[in-house]
A = this chain, B = another copy of it.
Amino acid sequence: MRCENHIVNQILDAYKPMWSLNHAISLMGWDFETYMPTSGTEERGMADSQLHILHKNLLLNKDFVGLVESAKKLDGLSDLEKGIVRVLNREITKQIKIPNELTQAESLERIRGNMVWREARQKSDFMMYAPHLKKMIEIKKQIAEKIGYEKHPYDALLDSFEEDLTVDDLDKVFGELTPRIQKILKKLVDLGSPFCKESKLAKSNYDIQSVDKLNHDILTLLQYDRKRFRMDVSTHPFTETMGLNDVRITTRYEGTDFKKSISSTIHEAGHALYDLQRDQSLSVTPLEGGSSLALHESQSRFWENIVGRSLSFVQLIAPMIRKQVNFANQVSDHELYLYFNNVKADYIRVDADEVTYNLHIALRYEIEKKIFGDELSVSEIPEFWNDRMEQLLGVRPTNDSQGVLQDTHWSSGLFGYFPTYTLGNLVSAIIASKMRKDLEDYEKDIKRGDFQPIREWLRLKIHQHGSSYAPKVLLKNTLNEGYNPDYFVTYIETKYLES
């Protein structure tokens, strides 16, 4: 990319080695989860931390910081040029504010705490993990103070995952969303909705090679170009972008409940498409990534849920499923649809359906806010978790593995990350609503397997821009909305109560 402004061009040139280090770090991350021999862990950890240090040194090099400072003062920059300066300035500011000792302390505690958390989860023993959680929270509180905030310490952490996100935003979101979703869930249960009846398909074992073939066939149907994209297997599915022309996803095969594997594949493919449809001029620039975690999650959830779990889509792929999964021949298209959309209030977030999912996030948000507002101590968390889960979802975990120990996020220092999942869900519903107005053949196109109009709409409105605009600005500019929960609630009501 070449810009009008020569200072921005100097910035872009100086950014190339940083981009290259990110490229290598991404590849090392992908390889770690897919093909790396297990004994390579320690060497990989060393290389990863050293490359991060090299990256930080380049970013905070005084000539580079000077260039970005000069560019901040320039008038008449284009939107792209402003975006470059904005993204780099955010990164520099954060890295400068957090002292190396805190970064290292977090990094060390992440490794130690994560190891203990794994064992504690297995043993369902929160007290075993509690000292590490306490230590990590202390570090994160210090980091929040260093970063700074206007109203609430948690704001500092939220902003590091989602630009400009605050407790005020989220109080408003969950204040509206939570009671409305609880009401819908209660209705579904009270009505004895067919969505609440578990399908026998969920218990049947599948052949992994066949479902792998099925996943690849679905990716082909969704028009993924293997010259720029590939899929591998890992325990926890993820998307890793090496660059705009090398985007990779993974999927998972547990051997039972095949919808999990298909949904994972479509979810990650949604993330991948966001990056595959970026404007190529943003390649090897600071704008190459997505606008935010919530925007990224909106893409994965749009494809996984709104398209992937729609009746039209399930009908479209039903013959492909029956070809690879023999026992699926025993059920009708509609039963397959109900299988993909089974609703059940349960303990585990990652297995939650689209109705109950955000209640899990509401719980984590409440707890994180209280932790950083000094309203909840570590020892109080498990009981608070169980009480609130019972109030929100009507189920009470019988042990810590089902409750407070279920997620990896806290042991990895990811406080402030959970809310972006819900925001992604909300944005996916906004997108679907706006898209249906623009594309009158939306439903027909899905029925006949033509995804080009949907892809093109997403490319123009969201994908092409990368991180040129902050998420709130992008939402306002292209969808004329904010993190508004109305669309999502309407979508859930229509799908689950009116069909």
Name the residue on B nearest A18 (C-beta): B50
- Chain B nearest CB from A58 CB (Å) reads 8
Across the two chains, which residue of chain B brings its CB closest to A41?
B245
Chain B: CB-nearest residue to A58? B54
B226→A37 contact, CB < 8 A: yes
Q: Is the CB of A245 within 8 A of B43?
A: yes
Q: How far is the CA of A21 from the CA of B23 in the complex (A)?
A: 12
Q: A43-B242, A246-B43 are in contact. Are A17 and B50 (CB under 8 A)?
A: yes
Asked if B31 contacts A47 (CB within 8 A), the reply is no
In the complex, are the beta carbons of A17 and B229 less than 8 A apart?
A: no
Chain A positions 33 through 44: 1 when the CB is less than 8 Å from some CB of chain B, otherwise 0: 001111110111
> Does A285 lie at the interface of the complex (its beta carbon under 8 Å from any beta carbon of B)?
no
A78 contacts partner chain B, Cβ-Cβ < 8 Å: no
Q: Could you give, for residues 9-52 of chain A, a 1 whenever the CB lies within 8 Å of some chain B CB and a 0 otherwise? A: 00000001101110111011001000111111011101100110
The 0/1 profile, CB within 8 Å of B marked 1, for residues 221-264 of chain A is 00000111110100000000011111010000000000000000
Does A284 make an interface contact (CB < 8 A)? Answer: yes
Contacts of A50 in B (CB 8 A): 16-17, 19-21
Which B residues are CB-close (under 8 A) to A17? 50-51, 53-54
A51→B246 contact, CB < 8 A: no
A433 lies within 8 A of chain B by Cβ: no
Q: For the complex, would chain A's binding face be called helix, strand, loop or mixed by DSSP majority? A: helix
Q: How many interface residues does A have (CB within 8 Å)? A: 40
Pairwise interchain contact B284-A40, C-beta atoms closer than 8 A: no
How far, in whole Å, are A36 and B50 apart by their CA atoms in the complex? 24
CA distance A50 to B229 in the complex (A): 23
Q: How far is the CB of A226 from chain B (nearest CB, A)?
A: 6
A39 proximity list for chain B (CB < 8 A): 227-228, 245-246
Task: Kindly state whether residue A283 has any CB partner on chain B within 8 Å.
Answer: yes
The 4 tightest CB contacts between A and B, nearest first, are A40-B246, A43-B243, A20-B50, A24-B24
Whether B43 and A229, one on each chain, are in contact in the complex, defined by CB atoms closer than 8 angstroms, is: no
Pairwise interchain contact A228-B37, C-beta atoms closer than 8 A: yes
List of B residues within 8 angstroms of A228 by Cβ: 37, 39-40
Provide the bound-state CA to CA distance between A25 and B50, in Å.
14
Chain B residues closer than 8 Å to A42, beta-carbon distance: 245
19 inter-chain pairs at a CB distance below 8 angstroms, sorted by A residue, are: A16-B46, A17-B53, A17-B54, A19-B50, A20-B51, A23-B44, A23-B47, A24-B28, A24-B51, A35-B230, A35-B232, A37-B226, A37-B227, A37-B230, A43-B242, A43-B246, A43-B283, A47-B243, A54-B54
* Least CB distance, A57 to chain B, in whole angstroms: 9
Within the complex, the shortest CB–CB distance from A367 to chain B, in Å, comes to 37
Cα separation A23 to B37 with both chains bound (whole Å):
14
The CA-CA distance from A54 to B20 in the complex, in Å, is: 10
A103 to B33, CA, bound (A): 36
> Can you name the residue of chain B whose Cβ is closest to the Cβ of A248?
B37
A54 to B54, CA, bound (A): 9
Q: Is the CB–CB distance between A229 and B37 below 8 Å?
A: yes
Given A24-B47, A35-B232, A37-B246, 20 other A-B contacts at CB below 8 A? A17-B53, A20-B46, A20-B47, A21-B51, A23-B44, A23-B46, A24-B25, A24-B27, A31-B31, A36-B246, A37-B226, A37-B229, A39-B245, A40-B242, A40-B243, A40-B245, A40-B246, A43-B244, A43-B246, A47-B243
**Residues in B neighbouring A40, C-beta threshold 8 A:** 228, 242-243, 245-246
Q: Which residue of B lies closest to A34 (CB)?
A: B35
